[in-house]
């Protein structure tokens, strides 16, 4: 299973002109993970997603880019492999399509709006969040929620 590095880099490539903040990036990773669980029946990446105060967060992504604060991210994600920092690209077309779907659905949604969306009653975040604790959001919970989400999307475009 993949790390978030190629997923993050795919989002950063898609957002090249639009610029993307850390807060928006972690929400997009969450959405893409949910879409992958619902549409492909498998996680997009291996890292956990946690319920934090401002919504679902992939801790490794947040910590990698937190130095940007609320400013647009201007560098790619890298992994330390065989003594070298390397930028990893996403090669799997099926996974690229999941990332692209999440991007197309939410590219025009700002980070604050994504926080509001992920805080809605019945979302995996709302069912997991406990104040002052960063609890892991269960993949099964995400899959069930995003299966309903995908069904609603299908109805909306039918």
Q: How confident is the model at residue 81 (pLDDT cuts 50, 70, 90)?
A: low
The whole-number pLDDT of residue 80 equals 65
Model's pTM, two decimal places?
0.94
Nearest to 28 by CA among 108, 139, 140, 92: 108
Distance of CA 34 to the CA centre of its chain: 8
Given a contact cutoff of 8 angstroms between Cβ atoms, the answer to whether 5 and 88 are in contact is yes
Q: 126 exposed, middle or buried (CB, 10 Å; 0-12, 13-18, 19+)?
A: middle
Ranges 36-50, 83-97, 110-124, 143-157: which has the least confidence: 83-97
State the DSSP code for 46. Answer: S
Share of the chain above pLDDT 70, in %: 95
**Helices (H), ranges, the chain:** 5-14, 22-39, 59-65, 93-106, 111-118, 124-128, 139-157
- pLDDT tops 80 at residue 86: no
The chain-wide mean pLDDT, for the chain, equals: 92
Lowest mean pLDDT among 2-16, 24-38, 75-89, 129-143: 75-89
Q: How confident is the model at residue 154 (pLDDT cuts 50, 70, 90)?
A: confident
Average pLDDT on 22-28 reads 97
How far apart are the C-alpha atoms of 106 and 11, rounded to whole Å?
A: 11
What Rg value do the Cα atoms of the chain yield, rounded?
15
Round to whole Å and give the CA distance between 120 and 134.
Answer: 18
Q: Quick one: pLDDT band at residue 147, thresholds 50, 70, 90?
A: very high
Enumerate residues 6+ apart whose C-beta is below 8 A from 152: none
Rounded-to-10 torsion of CA 81, 97, 145, 66: 40
């Amino acid at each position: 299973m993949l790390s978030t590095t190629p997923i993050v880099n795919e989002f950063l490539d898609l957002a090249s002109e639009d610029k993307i903040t850390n807060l928006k990036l972690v929400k997009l990773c969450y959405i893409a993970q949910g879409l992958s669980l619902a549409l492909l029946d498998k996680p997009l990446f291996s890292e956990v997603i946690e319920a934090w105060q401002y919504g679902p967060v992939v801790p490794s992504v947040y910590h990698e880019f937190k130095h940007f604060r609320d400013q647009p991210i201007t560098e790619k994600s890298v992994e330390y492999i065989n003594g070298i920092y390397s930028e990893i690209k996403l090669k799997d077309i099926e996974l690229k399509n999941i990332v692209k779907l999440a991007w197309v659905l939410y590219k025009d949604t700002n980070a604050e709006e994504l926080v509001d969306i992920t805080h809605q009653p019945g979302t995996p975040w709302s069912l997991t969040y406990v104040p002052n604790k960063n609890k892991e959001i269960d993949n099964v919970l995400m899959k069930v929620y995003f299966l309903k989400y995908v069904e609603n999307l299908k109805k909306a475009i039918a």
